[in-house]
Structure 1
Amino acid sequence: MHFAYPPRKSSNPPPFRPRTSALPTIRGKRLKTIVLIGLAFLTLLWLFQRGGRSRHAPPAYHKPSGNPPVVIVTVFNEGKYGKGYLDMVKENRLKYAEKHGYGTFFVKSSDYDLRGAPVSWATLPAVRHAMTEFPDASYIWYLDQNAFIMNPQLKIEEHVMKPSRLEELMIKDHPVVPPDSIIKTFSHLKGHDVDFVLTQDKDGLSSSSFVVKNGEWAKFFLETWFDPIYRTYNFQKAEQHALEHIVQWHPTILAKLALVPQRILNSYSKEKGGQEYKEGDLAVRLYACGEAGEDTCETESQRFAQWKAAYQDS
């Protein structure tokens, strides 16, 4: 009987391979997953906190305290008028401001780089400059160089800007550019919504005397009005026609604008330009006075020299 021999072991066994465990690999994958989940959680937390701050903590805007209540801004073109005349204009503003505790801000047109635009454009950076110098002023009153304050008893914040007074004065549903502009002043505007007050003359909006309420809207408005596109557009009447353009094309500006009767803020020395000055009016502008010749601004101003006596009586 034959028995099979057991298989013979090879004299050349395979090389030894140690037994490997899957545990370290599993641990590495889990650690990587945990790290990724943690980073994702921290990212979401950061985004949530950032979004919460932007929703619940809007940028803080400075609210003017009303000190001074009003700042009077006038831009002087010193190269074309005599020093005596300009000193008289300054004295007129200073006396009125002193009486009511207002500020004054006098600058030269040459103080601003207008990049070739007409000097009348200096009005806008001057007003913006005054807002920076007087951040707590409630109102900025721009008054043309060739104008005089005639009635020292009237205060801007009461005679013009008080909401109840504005609702009495506002000219509503009226063409912005007379006589037949299809864009009209808002009929539903309330006094407390108004940030910009001016008048019209026979030609249209007049930028020789206006009041703007100090604040963020005023900054936006002045920057829009002073846009380089408008300064280089070559409007016939420079910043005045630019103003008429933006008022008609930007409802956000028209919604803050109030037109008031011309004699409230901007009477003229001659009826030819608009409503003529009458005794008791706040201010008079020397309409179309010249720099030389017979009808100069200096000569025209003598007709209204009684403003000095008004301070002696008050």
Structure 2
Amino acid sequence: MHFAYPPRKTSNPPPYLPRSGGTSRLPGLRRSRLKVIALVGIAFIVFIYILTRPSSSSGHGGSTTTKRRAPSGNPPVVLVTVLDEKRYSKAYIDTVKENRIQYAEKHGYEAFFANIHDYDLKNAPPSWASVVATRHALTRFPEARYVWFLDQNAFIMNPRLSLEEHLMKPARLESLMIKGQPVVPPDSIITTFTHLKGPDVDFVLTQDKEGLSSGSFVVRNGEWAEFLLETWFDPIYRSYNFQKAETHALEHIVQWHPTILQKLALVDQRIINAYNQPKQGAEYQEGDLVVRFAECDKIGPQACEIESKRLAQQWRKAFTSS
């Protein structure tokens, strides 16, 4: 007869037990083995703790903490723009820089310019530089409270509006959030959270007529922002050959990763991302913060420069009178 489990007792003693007489060494062996098991267990627990504990950071006094402290907010905002200085004229690039610098100086922000050709994207489309440049800015300005990425082919038109008061102040943001909105319109089954509160939002962007628009977005500095950008920039997504590169990759991860969706707020396009062509999205109106020359780069650099000339006169006038 065979047992599924060994019986509780046996008439044959184990080979390592003495059959008669003498002093058994079993207690000593047990103690030795228990010590080894205990040491291995402690080492395993320490190993798991090191892997899973929050990233540590050093304070001004040099002491190490187990939880990353909130950034001081100096500067409050870093305004990030990726420039293609090989493809566009120097005059156009200088106008874009001037626009960002003047706005940043007015509100005590920092303007961060990256060259699209400075990043090794492993043969991915150049537009992916927007993601890595945003991560680069967080490294350069670890005390910044927010990072605002704004596409090169855009101007800030209303210098009176600060990013905090216009968008990121919790009460203001909560009033602007579009709740229960399909992430990819018109009929995505994944929608923005209906119960999300302003203080819980770490990622703000808009939609246009085709889906998410990644030409202007804001992230709150912190560990979650690093997680977002590292996930977004994952080599797997860069190798997928999405039609709209990083934009379609973002739509994918937002719909498949609740940890990202739960920190995302969509706002009306005119808040930070109005377009100069109404057929592509919400049309810019005087008083809006931003105007983007959406899709002009698909025609060519000259198309962007032509569209920008009239708007450049407008923003300079607005900045002079503010």
Q: What is the TM-score normalised by the length of structure 1?
A: 0.83
1:311 corresponding residue in structure 2: 319
CA contact (8 A) 1:291 1:297 kept: no
Cα distance, 1:192 vs structure 2: 0.7
| CA displacement, residues 87-115 of structure 1 (integer Å, 9 cap, x when unaligned) | 00000000000001101110111111111
Cα distance, 1:31 vs structure 2: 12
1:302 corresponds to 2:304: no
Q: 1:58 to 1:108 in 2, by over 3 A?
A: closer
**1:270-281 superposed matches below 5 A:** 270-281=277-288
- Tell me how far apart the structure 2 counterparts of residues 298 and 64 of structure 1 sit (CA, whole Å): 38
2:183 corresponding residue in structure 1: 176
1:195 corresponds to 2:206: no
* Aligned amino acid, residue 255 of structure 2: Q
Task: State the Cα RMSD in Å.
Answer: 2.9
The one of 120, 125, 130 equivalent to 2:127 is 120
1:133 corresponds to 2:144: no
Choose 120-129 or 287-296, whichever is displaced more: 287-296
Q: 1:58 to 1:272 in 2, by over 3 A?
A: closer
| CA displacement, residues 194-246 of structure 1 (integer Å, 9 cap, x when unaligned) | 00000000111000000000110011111111111111111111111111111
Cα distance, 1:288 vs structure 2: 2.2
CA contact (8 A) 2:88 2:301 kept: no
Q: Show structure 1 runs of 5+ residues with no match.
A: 1-24
**Corresponding pairs, count:** 289
CA contact (8 A) 2:157 2:291 kept: yes
1:100 corresponding residue in structure 2: 107
The one of 53, 59, 83 equivalent to 1:76 is 83
1:143 corresponds to 2:157: no
SS at match of 2:259: helix
1:221 corresponding residue in structure 2: 228
**1:20-99 superposed matches below 5 A:** 36=32, 43=39, 59=55, 60=66, 61-99=68-106
CA contact (8 A) 2:148 2:216 kept: yes
* Aligned amino acid, residue 165 of structure 1: R
* Aligned amino acid, residue 71 of structure 2: P
Q: What is the TM-score normalised by the length of structure 2?
A: 0.81
CA contact (8 A) 1:71 1:141 kept: yes
- Tell me how far apart the structure 1 counterparts of residues 301 and 230 of structure 2 sit (CA, whole Å): 39
* Aligned amino acid, residue 321 of structure 2: D
Cα distance, 1:46 vs structure 2: 6.1
- Tell me how far apart the structure 1 counterparts of residues 210 and 102 of structure 2 sit (CA, whole Å): 32
| CA displacement, residues 258-292 of structure 1 (integer Å, 9 cap, x when unaligned) | 00000001000110110100011000001222487
| CA displacement, residues 99-157 of structure 1 (integer Å, 9 cap, x when unaligned) | 01101110111111111110000111100000000000000000000000000111111
SS at match of 1:240: helix
Query: Which runs of 4 or more aligned residues in structure 1 lie more than 4 Å from their structure 2 counterparts after TM superposition?
Result: 29-51, 290-295
Q: 1:44 to 1:199 in 2, by over 3 A?
A: closer
CA contact (8 A) 2:87 2:301 kept: no
Aligned residues with identical type, % of pairs: 62
SS at match of 1:154: coil
CA contact (8 A) 1:266 1:285 kept: yes
Q: 1:207 to 1:30 in 2, by over 3 A?
A: closer
- Tell me how far apart the structure 1 counterparts of residues 223 and 203 of structure 2 sit (CA, whole Å): 13
Q: 1:159 to 1:45 in 2, by over 3 A?
A: same
- Tell me how far apart the structure 2 counterparts of residues 267 and 164 of structure 1 sit (CA, whole Å): 22
